[in-house]
């Protein structure tokens, strides 16, 4: 029976176990989106993961609208990532860079007052943090077809910079209501050109970006993340099984290292509990390793692997609060609590690099 502790090959990466670290926005970069040294400490603490997927990392100024998130479009950002990645490797870990364009989720405060871009002229619900405080989202403008070659260049530049920085690969963030997801889903893609309408048109940009990444760094170093069920930041789809099985089939044809799905299970803590899972329909049409994410702990992750629902599981908040998560799983030890603290998104060490390991807790008690 396959377990979390068994090794797995995902493209060019030999992972020693199947407990991956999911991408987690932590906001410890500079105001100019340059990684900082404390990020190396954070990621290297978690090098016991089979594979670390980095926090979402901006591919361009147009695509990044989260305060203190990192980017990877400039030389300064690339150089600052190098020691972070090197610390992970020195600790025996593997890490890939998640490439992010937020689309309509970027506020004009980050764009010198210009509108964000999306598949169509739509507005995300709610508000967003900017350096000037909370702001309501604004209506995006449709991305022009003439702008798509430049977008593809931005993704390629970011991927090549990630490899220069030493990352073991990249992951395309095509989930959670961000730009690629805004094109995929019928609720946010109202276009009538070759990028809108039927499913094959709505997944066209996903395919073009993925292919550009594969051409740039090799399919064995490219992964993709999708979120196939339920509303995500106001993005939803009328026929998720049809849409996301088509997307998975396309990615399988292109040939990526693995596919990760953010799909909260029924009765989960964080996701939509009444939305049917799409992963059982994706499993037969995607020929590579499948990674499931969201609301997984030891028992349900073990069951998912045993039932062949996935080849690996990515853990988010549990890895955030338990840097030695694999050791705790092996020992059957209690986990640090997931404590929903404001320090998750602050710029200091609190709630970031100060979660104790089992050994540290035992030493403190002694």
- Active site residue: 43, 178, 296, 352, which one? 178
Could you tell me where the DSSP H helices lie in the chain? 37-45, 75-90, 148-164, 179-184, 199-202, 204-217, 240-254, 279-282, 298-306, 317-321, 325-331, 358-365
Residue 236's Cβ-count burial label (10 Å; 0-12, 13-18, 19+) is: middle
Cα of first residue to Cα of last residue in the chain, in angstroms, is 38
And the tokens for 116? Answer: 């964000």
Short-list 52, 11, 62, 13, CA closest to 251: 11
CA 197 from chain centre, in angstroms, equals 26
Q: What is the spatial distance between Cα 146 and Cα 149, in angstroms, rounded to a whole number?
A: 7
Short-list 114, 84, 108, 107, CA closest to 96: 84
User: Do 169 and 221 touch, CB atoms closer than 8 A?
Assistant: yes
Residue 59's Cβ-count burial label (10 Å; 0-12, 13-18, 19+) is: buried
CA 261 from chain centre, in angstroms, equals 10
232 backbone dihedrals φ, ψ, rounded to 5°? -135, 110
Q: Has 178 been annotated as catalytic?
A: yes
Catalytic residues: 178
């Amino acid at each position: 029976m396959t377990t979390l502790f068994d090794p797995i090959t995902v493209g060019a990466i030999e992972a020693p176990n199947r407990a991956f670290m999911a991408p987690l926005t932590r906001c410890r970069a500079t105001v100019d989106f340059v990684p900082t040294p404390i990020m190396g400490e954070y990621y290297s603490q978690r090098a016991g993961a089979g594979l670390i997927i980095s926090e979402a990392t901006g591919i361009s100024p147009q695509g990044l609208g989260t305060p203190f998130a990192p980017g990877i479009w400039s030389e300064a950002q690339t150089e600052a990532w190098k020691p972070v990645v090197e610390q992970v490797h020195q600790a025996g870990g593997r890490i890939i860079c998640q490439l992010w364009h937020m689309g309509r989720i970027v506020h004009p405060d980050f764009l010198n007052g210009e509108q964000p871009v999306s598949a169509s002229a739509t507005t995300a619900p709610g508000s967003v943090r900017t350096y000037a405080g909370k702001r309501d989202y604004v209506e995006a403008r449709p991305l022009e077809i003439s702008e798509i070659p430049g977008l593809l260049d931005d993704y390629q530049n970011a991927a090549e910079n990630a490899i220069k920085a030493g990352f073991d690969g990249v992951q395309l963030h095509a989930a959670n209501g961000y730009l690629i997801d805004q094109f995929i889903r019928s609720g946010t893609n109202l276009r009538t050109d070759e990028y809108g309408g039927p499913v094959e048109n709505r997944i066209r940009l996903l395919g073009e970006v993925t292919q550009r990444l594969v051409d740039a760094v090799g399919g064995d170093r490219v992964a993709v993340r999708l979120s196939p069920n339920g509303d995500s930041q106001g993005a939803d789809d009328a026929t998720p099984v049809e849409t996301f099985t088509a997307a998975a089939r396309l990615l399988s044809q292109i040939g990526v290292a693995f596919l990760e799905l953010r799909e909260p299970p029924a009765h989960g803590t964080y996701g939509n509990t009444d939305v049917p899972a799409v992963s059982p329909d994706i499993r037969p049409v995607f020929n590579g390793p499948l990674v499931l994410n969201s609301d997984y702990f030891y028992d349900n992750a073990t069951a998912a692997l045993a039932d062949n629902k996935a080849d690996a599981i990515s853990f988010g908040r549990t890895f955030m609060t338990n840097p030695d998560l694999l050791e705790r799983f092996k020992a059957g030890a209690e986990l640090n609590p997931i404590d929903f603290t404001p320090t998750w998104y602050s710029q200091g060490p609190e709630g970031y690099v100060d979660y104790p390991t089992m050994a540290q807790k035992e030493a403190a008690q002694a």
